Amino acid sequence: MNHTVLVVDDDPGVLDVIVGMLEELGCEVTRAQSGPDALDRLRQNESISILITDINMPGMDGHELAELAKRLRPELKILQLSGREPRRGGLPMIRKPFSFEELADTMRRTTGVC
C-alpha cells in the first residue's frame, strides 16, 4: 500500500535526506519548508495520510503545525523530528540524527508503513 507522506523541515539538506529514505521505503513523498506551506499542501492534497515534521523551525514550530494539521485532518498520522526539543503532546518523535533503520522502524510502529 502506498502512503503519501508530507515531510516538513526548514533545512533543505535534511529534507532531501528524509525524502530519499521515505522513497526507499516505498512512500510517495511531498515536501514543505515551513508550517504555513505544509498546511497549504494538506489543504490541496487529500491523499496525504502522514505528516513528518521537524519541531524546531522558525515562525510556526512543529508543535503548532501538528496541532493545526490535526484540526484540519483529524485522521492524519503525525511523527515529529528533533535534535534537541522535548517530546510534547503525546505524538511519536524520532531524534535527529537517525538512521534509515530507525526511520523504517519508527514508521512501522507509529504509522503502519512497511
CB 65 within 8 A of CB 38: yes
Task: Name the band, by pLDDT with cuts 50, 70 and 90, for residue 91.
Answer: confident
Domain of residue 10: give its range.
4-111
DSSP H helices, 6-99, are 12-24, 35-44, 62-72
Q: Which CATH number covers residue 50? A: 3.40.50.2300
Per-residue model confidence as pLDDT tens digits over 46-72: 999 999 999 999 999 999 999 999 999
Per-residue model confidence as pLDDT tens digits over 28-45: 999 999 999 999 999 999
Cell of 75: 485522521
What pTM does this model have?
Answer: 0.93
Residue owning grid cell 535526506: 17
Phi/psi at 59 (5° precision): 75, -115
Report pLDDT for 80. 94
pLDDT higher than 60, residue 75: yes
**Total domain count for the chain?**
1
